[in-house]
């Protein structure tokens, strides 16, 4: 039941955007009663956040290849494969399109990225333990500088996301880490 509701949520988001995301339509699409959805999630924001996190956990697992370069390359390639899939690209565009008009989405996005960066930060923590990174490197920032160029190309420049680009991004990240530890700063 949970998986059907989460899939229906993302389907409704793709088809109708955030403004058209209604729990009744999600319940109907999932083949469950609307009270089931209301009782479990309460509102569309909690449901959407759960759907996005479950989708990302399934589509973008955190690799463990035994090396920082290998992990960053595997993660970047998985992110590219995910964000270039028609469903994920449609989800991204729906979220971006509504983001500036819907304050609730800012909280969802912030919690989503905190969780994803925390999970992916394990790559940097393992690299620190292996001696590949300095201990004062901010783990989430390593992942942030890896995925930012990918999202830029998907959402803004529409340039190709091929293996050569992924390799270039990984090299750029590793090069920047070699010059000194990046520290995330708060705005």
Task: Read off the pLDDT of each residue in 121-130 and give the average, rounded to a whole number.
Answer: 94
Kindly write down the DSSP assignment for every residue of the chain, as one continuous string.
-HHHHHHHHHHHHHHHTTTT--HHHHHHHHTS-HHHHHHHH-SHHHHHHHHHHHHHHHHSPPP--SSHHHHHHHHHHHHHHHHTSHHHHHHHHHHHHHHTT-HHHHHHHHHHHHHHHHHHHHHHHHHHHTTSS-TTS-HHHHHHHHHHHHHHIIIII-----HHHHHHHHHHHHHHHHTS-------
Enter the CATH code of domain 1-59.
Answer: 1.10.10.60
Rounded Cα distance between 36 and 114, Å, is: 28
Q: What angle do CA 60, 109, 84 make, to 5 degrees?
A: 40
Q: Do 24 and 41 touch, CB atoms closer than 8 A?
A: no
Query: pLDDT tens digit string along 32-75?
Result: 999 999 999 999 899 999 998 898 888 888 999 999 999 999 99
Find all residues with CB under 8 Å of 79, minimum gap 6, and list them: 60, 146, 147, 150
Q: Average pLDDT, whole number, for the chain?
A: 89
For position 185, what pLDDT does the model report?
Answer: 53
pTM for this prediction:
0.83
Give start-end residues of each CATH 1.10.357.10 domain in the chain.
62-181
For position 68, what pLDDT does the model report?
Answer: 96
Q: Do 57 and 78 touch, CB atoms closer than 8 A?
A: no
Superfamily of domain 62-181: Tetracycline Repressor, domain 2 (1.10.357.10)
Query: pLDDT tens digit string along 166-182?
Result: 999 999 999 988 866 55
For position 183, what pLDDT does the model report?
Answer: 54
For position 180, what pLDDT does the model report?
Answer: 60
Give start-end residues of each CATH 1.10.10.60 domain in the chain.
1-59
């Amino acid at each position: 039941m949970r998986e059907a509701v989460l899939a229906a949520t993302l389907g409704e988001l793709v088809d109708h955007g955030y403004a058209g995301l209604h729990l009744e339509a999600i319940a109907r699409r999932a083949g469950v009663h609307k009270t089931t959805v209301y009782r479990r999630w309460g509102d569309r924001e909690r449901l959407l956040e759960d759907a996005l996190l479950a989708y990302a956990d399934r589509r973008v697992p955190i690799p463990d290849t035994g090396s920082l370069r290998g992990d960053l390359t595997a993660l970047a390639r998985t992110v590219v494969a995910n964000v270039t899939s028609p469903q994920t690209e449609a989800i991204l565009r729906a979220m971006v399109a509504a983001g500036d008009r819907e304050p609730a989405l800012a909280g969802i996005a912030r919690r989503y990225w905190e969780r994803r960066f925390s999970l992916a930060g394990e790559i940097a923590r393992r690299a620190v333990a292996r001696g590949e990174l300095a201990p004062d490197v901010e783990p989430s920032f390593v992942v942030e500088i890896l995925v930012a160029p990918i999202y830029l190309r998907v959402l803004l420049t529409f340039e190709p996301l091929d293996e050569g680009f992924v390799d270039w991004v990984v090299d750029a990240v590793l090069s920047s880490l070699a010059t000194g530890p990046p520290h995330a700063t708060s705005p």
